[in-house]
Chain A
Amino acid sequence: MPTQQPPRSFLEPAVLARLAGVPLFARKPMQGGVSGKHRSPHRGSSVEFAEYRKYVPGDDLRRLHWRALARTGRRYVKEFEADTNLRCCLVVDTSGSMRFGPAGGGLSKIEYARRLAGTLGYLAIQQGDAVGLTCVADGIVQDIPPRRNPAHLAHLFDTLEKVVPVGPTHLVDVLHQLAETVRQRALIIVISDLFADPALLRECFEHLRFRHHDLAAFHLLEQQELDFQFRRPTRFVDMEGGTSILAEPTEIASRYQKALAEYLEGLRTAVLETGVDYHRVRIDEPYEQTLMKFLVRRTQQRSGR
């Protein structure tokens, strides 16, 4: 990390140092502009063998497999995987509901998302990948296209620092939009509370999958949202500017839990069927642990291919 950078509230050097040893891998072949750590859909000159194929005129004779020609008299070309860098698009939900946090203090969802996005951006730039940032509320609030140079990282951090969570969520529309606008295969990391209809989310997940993007999702939830253990009558004010509800929590708790369970089950089905790298995160957990699990799991999946 450059020394002249001002300290960011959402970045912890110790955490960055510990996570720097674990690479960020994509689960799918990426189309990068330069050589990197990630598989490319094209054949290249890396040391990793990919396949044999019949020689066609025009192929580089240096790749002809002479030993196979000597044994069988047939001409085969030996192909190797190409390694490239990846484009990492960080999609951060900055709608009003991301302001929500624990009652007794602690990180709010947006602060947690800043830490996740900032750390992931830093790690990706460190390993030579391009990182972009899209802040989403009732549309695209901020859109920083992916770049590889470290100077770009400061701009990205500034944006993260300044973003204010406000307004309703139109995450589904934005993801559809990103599926269309991000032309090359990319790693799209969505950091959001995902408060949207699971059926609609499933559609945009399928859209991104169809466009060969590697989609990872950090689903941020707070303990109160899961437990819903309020005793007093409460006026719930919609953080996204909708109507407020005066309710007796003890009366509606069971029905709230039922609705939440249905939603989570629907979302689980959607992410399983669309192959999303889905991580349900309780924001009272240490973000370092969350990211470590994320990175390690991707490393394991890469080694197992």
Chain B
Amino acid sequence: MSFLQPWMLAALPIAALPVIIHLINQRRYQTLDWGAMQFLLSANQMSRGFRRLRQWLIMAMRVLAIAGLLFAVSRPLASGWLGLTAGGQADTTIVLLDRSPSMQQRTAGVSKLDAARRQLVDTLQTLGSKRWVLIDSATLKPQEISSPAALLDAPQTTGVSASADVPAMLGVVHDYIKANNPGRTEVWIASDLRENDWQPEDGRWGSLRSAILEFPQEVRFHLLTYASDASAAQPNLAVRVTDARREPSGGGSDLVLSLEVTRDSAPPGRPGRPDAPAKIALPLRLEIDGAPSVMNIELTNVGFELKDHRVPLAAGATRGWGRVSLPADSNPADDQAFFVYDEPVVRRTLVVTDAPDRARAVRLAASISPSPAVSSAAETATPDALGAVAWETLALVVWQAPLPTGDAAQRLRELVDRGGQVIFLPPAAPTGASFAGVRWQAWQEPAEPLTPDNWRSDQDLLVKTESGASLPVGRWKVSRYCTLSGELNTLATLPGGAPLVGRAVTDHGGVYFIATTTEPRDSTLASDGVVLYAALRRVIDAGAQRLGDTRNEPAGQPFAASPEPWRRTAGDDSPAAAEALSTDYCFYQGVYEGGDKLAAVNRTLAEGRTDTVPAARVDRLFEGLAFDRVAGVVGDGAGLLREVWRLFLGAMIVALVTEAALCLPRIAAPVAEKPQTVPIGRRAERPVEAAV
């Protein structure tokens, strides 16, 4: 039981008033000398048992009546969680809305997002607040709204294709509180607890927790969770284009398309859910440059994968767009995938070094093309001769020289902001310069070559291969390394904790530091070239995505600057996507055209993972904070909170009526006339009248 006005409960001791009055009354008795004690004693004896119980019942009813009234004016809420026991109207209520595609999963025609909005509106209107702030997962901008009802029609509350970044959203909350210094703040998070949205392993959680705990004002978190119950969820299919490229074929060209259709796991025999059939035949709709075609596919339990499916392109078609779509199911947000194709761009790498011979291995590894259709190029330059470099064509810069300053540093920062990649290798003589907050310190030469004892194989540079095999990082021997200082995410460490590979914290692109070089006297990075080649290919892939005029973008990445405004070529049929502002195109899947640039926006790869963060893990994330959680139910139409003051008012009335009934005097026989002097004798002429 929670209350909207719990301070009223401070008046609960008033419920003891009947008892106190009774006790005072008992103290205020009059003393009377009495002769007819035998009747009093008899009456007192008769007042045992039920009569005494009746007295206590009357007292209890009076106490209950007052308590019922107090509870009623405290505005109790019928909810299954105790999060509002602090109660009262918040000064500021911040709503964090997860708009990611997984929140668009429907049950009985209602999506999680719609249910969350409706239930939030009902709940927040009941609770009240002086100020309402919306932070949505797409824009990550705090926007003040006039009332909770705005959640129903604000464009920033509709579903998007971009994943949510809950730690980033909480970071915005932190910044907002810090900047505005509101009073008591309530933070409502509506999310389905997907792991890729919550990133429970992210280091930001700890720092956010500490920072929020330091706030002088009270900040309470309420999680409205729509983590789907697999037993209740409808089967859902998702389609994703893994590769779309144009390849010459004979006299013309083909579109080489790879895609996969996944289906959420449906363990057979789960109660409450019909067993999913082992195989599903369904039509797959393919649309290329507006020309549709349909192919029937057969989906097994593990899904369906189409690899390098060739579709002949019209003569002269060098670039274009396409769409793959499935029949509508419980989540329309993952039933379409868009792609654009173009002639592949040259993946250029620039190696900046004082001594080109020292970086030869890097240049060679960077110039190897991953496939015949893709051309790679690598060139070398000294730090002094960067004037003629076409920076906008570069996917990667490997910098093996003292850290850049001035114009060179500015150029590198611009490249990184565009999404380009930079790898810094230690110079022969480190200077005091820094880049992205990181600087080289001094070379170390251990007595024996060291091998990395810890590295991140789950993400970034040293991630496992697509086949699931780990890179042979453990065979990498480091004879000399240069220590680093500054804030960076360590991807590999040497024994003793010295960082070997790290990534600086940047908003876009990637800035990597490798603490050793490819020279044989420093490490075996060149002789055991697998790690070097794989790492370089990954960063070049990432950098090359930002090159050229056609790009397949993950939703949420802002579009590159374009001389002409971006226009929507194809996309969702949903009203929200159709009416989206051009500045928000990057959040909605589809194909967009801006001048000579073409971009396909799709949900991120991680959005396909259906793992949710366990409740215990969520509790640990909010450990130490005022936090509670309530499970939102999609489609039941019920609000999260219901005021139940009527129940208490009813109880009060019942108590009062019962008390009145108990207090009713017994209906006595009509009182006889007052006894007069009555003689009674053997021959009494009239009977003696009743005494009372």
Contact = CB atoms under 8 A, between A and B. Distances in A.
Interface stretch (B21-29, B156-164, B260-268): B21-29
A258 B668 CA distance: 10
B675 A282 contact: yes
Contact of B40 (A99, A222, A245, A297): A245
Nearest to A242: B37
A275 interface: yes
Contacts, number: 161
B30 A232 contact: yes
B375 to A, nearest CB: 105
Nearest to A286: B677
A173 interface: no
B127 to A, nearest CB: 47
B36 A260 contact: yes
Interface in B2-32: 25-26, 28-32
Nearest to B29: A233
B684 A195 contact: no
A11 to B, nearest CB: 20
Contacts of B216: none
Interface string A241-281: 01001111001101111111101110010011001111111
B692 A260 contact: yes
Contacts of B30: 230, 232-235
A117 to B, nearest CB: 16
Interface of B: 25-26, 28-44, 46-47, 51, 55, 665-666, 668, 674-684, 688, 690-692
A263 to B, nearest CB: 7
Contacts of A279: 677-680
A105 B211 CA distance: 83
Given A235-B29, A236-B40, A251-B55, A297 B34 contact: no
Nearest to A221: B675
Given A233-B25, A234-B32, 7 more contacts: A109-B35, A230-B30, A236-B40, A247-B43, A252-B44, A256-B39, A280-B678
A276 B680 contact: yes
Contact of A99 (B25, B33, B55, B684): B33
11 contacts: A193-B35, A236-B32, A239-B34, A257-B692, A272-B684, A275-B681, A276-B681, A280-B676, A282-B677, A293-B677, A297-B679
A293 to B, nearest CB: 6
A70 B684 CA distance: 46
Contacts of A232: 25, 28-30
B690 A261 contact: yes
A98 interface: yes
B203 to A, nearest CB: 72
Contacts of A276: 680-681
B674 A96 contact: no
Contact of B33 (A193, A239, A265, A277): A239
B44 A237 contact: no
Given A100-B35, A237-B33, A247 B674 contact: no
A268 to B, nearest CB: 5
A282 B36 CA distance: 14
A107 to B, nearest CB: 14
Contacts of B29: 232-235, 246
A48 interface: no
A230 B31 CA distance: 12
Interface string A282-305: 100100011001100100010000
B34 A236 contact: yes
B39 A259 contact: yes
A77 B675 CA distance: 51
Contacts of A248: 55
A260 B37 CA distance: 11
A12 interface: no
Nearest to B36: A225
B677 A259 contact: no
Which of B26, B28, B34, B676 has most chain A Cβ within 10 Å? Answer: B34
A158 interface: no
A36 B344 CA distance: 157
B104 to A, nearest CB: 69
B26 A246 contact: yes
B681 A277 contact: yes
Interface string A96-125: 111110000000010000000000000000
A226 B668 CA distance: 15
A288 to B, nearest CB: 11
